[in-house]
Amino acid sequence: MVKKIVMVTGATSGIGEACARKFAGGGYNVIITGRRAEKLESLKAELEKTGAKVLALTFDVRQRDAAKAAVESLSGEWKNIDVLINNAGLALGLDKEYEGDFEDWDTMIDTNIKGLLNMTRFIVPGMVSRDSGHVINIGSVAGDAAYANGNVYCATKAAVKALADGLRIDVAASSVRVTNLKPGLVQTNFSNVRFHGDDKKAESVYEGIQPLTGADIADVAFYAASAPAHVQIAEVLILATHQASGSVVVRK
């Protein structure tokens, strides 16, 4: 049987890495991408043990030419991507909007919005021409409503939702499906990155609550991809049990 192909951006860590594992274990061949080649190579070796074929592509989603070249480098069976998981992204800082760091803003906007758009722009035309495919964006509860000091990050995730909604309209005449997943607190490298390597501060984000794991989100992504062809899981909000919204978390 011909295996389906999933491409996961930001597969070197957290939710993306968990998605790569879940889809490889679930019968897909996997294209893993990210900026850290060594992490991709070790994940490739691990995933190949499941019997999946794995292709590792090292590039930065912000670099449009590099993203284009990576997609154009795909040959043979790898060209026909069935599922694109637009996961690469990050938050940087937690500051008042009138005090935020310009460089942090640019990095978040360039990665979470423009990087995601680059991948969508290069991969979805093939899906539309084959009349088959699925784009799964990793949005966030942060895109539903701003939380204190989240301003720019929240805005990027509101944009991810708008881009999923817009794409869903644009591909509605085809059989391509579009899903926006909106996780709440997931313990990954996310907060270490947000707080520029301050691990103590990062850990405090998950204190007093059992957070979600990358695997929890990967399960939902896999469910959406496995739904019958006439079923489009448009959007899913996934929260930890003691989290009610982006700003309401009850800690013990």
Residues that bind ligand NDP (CB under 6 A): 9-16, 34-36, 39, 60-62, 87-90, 111, 115, 138, 140, 183, 185-186, 188-190, 193, 214
For the bound state, the minimum distance from the C-beta of residue 193 to ligand NDP, rounded and expressed in Å, comes to: 5
Residue 246 touching ligand 8X3 (CB under 6 A): yes
Q: Which does 246 bind (CB under 5 to 8 A by kind): ligand 8X3, ligand NDP, none?
A: ligand 8X3
Judge contact between 47 and 15, C-beta under 8 A.
Answer: no
Q: Which does 180 bind (CB under 5 to 8 A by kind): ligand NDP, ligand 8X3, none?
A: none
CA distance 100 to 225: 37
Give residues with Cβ within 8 angstroms of 75, minimum separation 6. Answer: none
Nearest residue (CB) to ligand NDP, 3 versus 68: 68
* Interface mask toward ligand 8X3 for 179-218; x: CB under 6 A: -----xx---------------------------------
Nearest residue (CB) to ligand NDP, 12 versus 120: 12
Q: Which does 224 bind (CB under 5 to 8 A by kind): ligand NDP, ligand 8X3, none?
A: none
Nearest residue (CB) to ligand NDP, 174 versus 197: 197
For the bound state, the minimum distance from the C-beta of residue 201 to ligand 8X3, rounded and expressed in Å, comes to: 13
CA distance 167 to 211: 30
Residue 92 touching ligand 8X3 (CB under 6 A): no
For the bound state, the minimum distance from the C-beta of residue 97 to ligand NDP, rounded and expressed in Å, comes to: 18
Q: Which does 243 bind (CB under 5 to 8 A by kind): ligand NDP, ligand 8X3, none?
A: none
Residue 160 touching ligand 8X3 (CB under 6 A): no
Q: What DSSP string describes the chain?
A: -PPPEEEESSTTSHHHHHHHHHHHHTT-EEEEEES-HHHHHHHHHHHHTTT--EEEEE--TT-HHHHHHHHHT--GGGG--SEEEE----------TTT--HHHHHHHIIIIIIIHHHHHHHHHHHHHHHT--EEEEE--GGGTS--TTTHHHHHHHHHHHHHHHHHHHHTTTSS-EEEEEEE--B-SSHHHHHTTT-HHHHHHTTTTS--B-HHHHHHHHHHHHHS-TT----EEEE--TTB-SSS-B---
Kindly list the catalytic residues. 153
Q: Which does 14 bind (CB under 5 to 8 A by kind): ligand NDP, ligand 8X3, none?
A: ligand NDP
In the complex, the residues that contact ligand 8X3 under the rule CB under 6 A are 140-142, 150, 184-185, 246
